[in-house]
Amino acid sequence: MASSPQHRVFEKGSCISLLKGCGSDNKSSQGNDVPVQNGNLQREEMKETQDLLASGLSKLTVQERTEALYDVHCVGEELKEDPEIIQKALSDFDKAIQQEHNPTYEIASNQNKAYVQDPTFRLRFLRANSFNVGQSLGQMMKFLQYKAAYFGAETIAREITLDDLTTEDMKLMLSGLYHIQDGKDRMGRLVIYMFSNMLCSSTVESLVRVSFYVWFNIILSDHDVQRKGVTAIYYDVNSRPGEKVKKPGINFMMKVLGPLNSLPGRYTALHYCLLKTKSSLALNSTVLRLSVNNIPGYVRVRSRLHLGSDMELQYLLKSHGIPIDTFPVDVNGNIRENILNKWFNKHQEAIDKDTPSANAQVPELNASACTFTKQEGNVENGKAVPSNRASSASARTVQPLDTDILSGRGRKSQDHPGNVRFRDMLEEHSVEYDKAPRHERRRITTEFTRLLASQGIRFLDQIESGDWVECDFAEGRTKVSQQFRTLRKKKSRA
């Protein structure tokens, strides 16, 4: 989460009308910006949290208060970026990190220096903290520490993949804990939901792992989202038939807030939409206050509490620029199951197609701001390019065996004994793969990759020198997936 003010240039003109009129729907507030809405349903249990939010706003300057109000009500401007500022921030970041002696960072650097020095990786933290180098560096260090704690030290210097998630994690992923709305808010920002009924349905470890994957691999993979920020909504939902919903306790919240705050997401608005249900945070003042008090101050002044029926909550959100035509909950409080995991299906489809991120490159970034060299394969034509694996110069070369699977489309690779056996094996199971639903295909390719690895069969890539290097597990799984699709295309042309 971001923790520093944004620096924006606003259009000239008075903001007095906004300050007077858009802070609250509570008729008793008499024009003051009270960060709690729908006064007819206010509860005594929420008073301390309301006072906490109000006190934060009262400490802001007029400019800071205006910026916060603009963000919450979707009438502001997105974060402006100057190539010179980006370049200087990256340079300052690199100088600052050389003064650090963080053991987790040193482990990551020894594993794969290219990953932690990648400008696209560092820019996520710089954007989340409005280019405040000190705060960005601190957040990145915490991110790496939590990543090591929840995924294992061997994952620090590479991207997290679906293969790193357990069966319990995947179940939680598809349970409705998170939802990315199909439709952005009035400022073109992504709208992210966390549903209350799934918050305590799993272990802390599983919740953290799923959150890391969703935020880092899906939400923040788009640099446009990094720049604009996101609108986040915590939404109370009615329990499903036969479902027992647990209340989030103090220990649970304390354990998850640290890891979640290490994720470099810039919340430009945070809405707590609360019902009068037994499991609602509205009835648990201690946990609600703890939750609000432990988010960064920058996010806290952009947070609002809403209390009412589903219909009232949705129309309150609409007044804040959030589309309700694609809202994931109907006016009766029922989750729209048919669209609940649409966002994940799109992500899975992109993985199956091996579609690279459209925003993988950093625009207008001069190579002099980076610590990479062209020999390391991380700068092309003056632009930094992300790299998830060690450079070819440092990768250990191997001698191909007959059992190995070689990359390349040439006859030599295609006729290699390992490649022939690989194609024959997948062809035997291609019907099963083609008939499987999309999420099952991922499981099938993962199982095949593990089977090959257990038999000592390697996937090899040829580098510029002509030598061969071994692919990692994720790259191997991608090649299995590609081969299945190649076989399907051949069948369709036959």
> Would strands 468-470 and 397-398 be described as parallel, antiparallel, or unpaired?
antiparallel
d(CA 332, CA 311): 7
The encoded tokens of residue 226 equal 């990094």
* pLDDT at 43 (0 to 100): 60
Residues of the chain with CATH 3.40.525.10: 1-392
- pLDDT tens readout for residues 264-274: 998 999 999 88
Write the single-letter amino acid at 317. Answer: L
Coil, helix or strand at residue 493? helix
* pLDDT at 360 (0 to 100): 34
* Closest to 288 measured CA to CA, from 90, 28, 53, 75: 53
10 Å Cβ neighbour count for 89?
24
Give yes or no for a contact between 35 and 303, defined as CB atoms under 8 angstroms apart: yes
Phi, psi of 429 (to 5 degrees): -115, 10
Residues above pLDDT 90, as percent of the chain: 31
d(CA 333, CA 331): 5
* pLDDT at 137 (0 to 100): 96
- pLDDT tens readout for residues 308-351: 889 999 999 999 999 988 999 998 888 888 888 889 988 888 88
d(CA 58, CA 55): 5
d(CA 178, CA 212): 12
d(CA 419, CA 407): 9
What mean pLDDT do residues 30-44 have? 47
- pLDDT tens readout for residues 114-170: 999 999 999 999 999 989 999 999 999 999 999 999 999 889 999 999 889 998 899
* pLDDT at 317 (0 to 100): 93
d(CA 382, CA 17): 47
The encoded tokens of residue 194 equal 């966390």
Write the single-letter amino acid at 420. Answer: V
What does the mean pLDDT of the chain come to? Answer: 78
The encoded tokens of residue 167 equal 């069966």
* pLDDT at 1 (0 to 100): 56
* pLDDT at 91 (0 to 100): 95
CATH number of the structural domain 1-392: 3.40.525.10
* pLDDT at 391 (0 to 100): 40
- pLDDT tens readout for residues 375-425: 333 333 333 333 334 343 445 788 899 889 998 878 888 889 999 999 988
